[in-house]
Structure formats: structure tokens, C-alpha cells
A = this chain, B = another copy of it.
Amino acid sequence: MTDTELYERAVAAAARAYAPYSKYHVGAAALTHDGKVLEGVNVENAAYPLGVCAERTLLSGAVVAGYGPGDIEAVAITASPCGGCRQWLYEFKVGRVVFPSAGDLVVRTTAELLPDAWDDL
């Protein structure tokens, strides 16, 4: 699966977002090292700070499915990840992160997205 195909999965997933407050639908898709594709969407809450972004829905779903840090080759997102999600992508040692920027798809490492990051484990 190419990065562009993975991104198209993220775009398709976004239609299932639960975003009745912002009306802003985000989708995400992950390719695991064993070749499985997982999806995530943002899920909002009437109390805005309790919502969960698409990348975190995606990665927490990956954990439920038995995956953990180091198991995910790539994540594609329909928008540049927020700082909170960058910390998750970093925690899960995702190989590369794909998202649109200025009309193109860009590819970043988690270290590029979160310079000066620290490790606790």
C-alpha cells in the first residue's frame, strides 16, 4: 500500500467522524508492520476538552487490536496533527506520518514533528 493509498483510506474514514460541535471531520489510517490497515476518526463531546482526535482514536484502537509501540509503519491523516497527537505518534514510534500541506502530501518522522522530545520509558 502506498502512502497515497493510505491517505485515501484516512479521507474515506473521515466521513464517519462524530463531530457535531465543530463540524470538522478528521480521518486517520495506520499501516501496521504486519500489513493490516486500521482507521480512526475524531470523536467530540459536548464538553469540548473531553473529545479525542482521530490519531488517538486510531492508535488506541490499534492497542485494543493488540498492537503497541513499534508496530506501526505509517499513519496518514487528513490534516496536520495537533501537538497532543504528535506526542502519541512519538510514543508509538510510528515510522512515518503522512498529511496534506499546501496542496501536497508531506511525509514526516515523529522526531521532525516533535523536536526536543523526551523519553520516559
Residue contact B46 to A120, C-beta cutoff 8 Å:
yes
What is the total number of residues of chain A having a CB less than 8 Å from a CB of chain B?
56
Residue contact A64 to B49, C-beta cutoff 8 Å:
no
Given contacts A22-B48, A106-B116, contact A83 B90 (CB under 8 A): yes
Residue contact A87 to B80, C-beta cutoff 8 Å:
no
Residue contact A60 to B63, C-beta cutoff 8 Å:
no
The B-contacting residues of A in range 63-81, CB under 8 angstroms, are 63-64, 66, 68, 79-80
Given contacts A83-B114, A116-B108, contact A64 B57 (CB under 8 A): yes
Residue contact A64 to B118, C-beta cutoff 8 Å:
no
**Whole-angstrom distance from the CB of A112 to the nearest CB of chain B?**
7
Residue contact A64 to B40, C-beta cutoff 8 Å:
yes
A1 at the interface (CB under 8 A from B): no
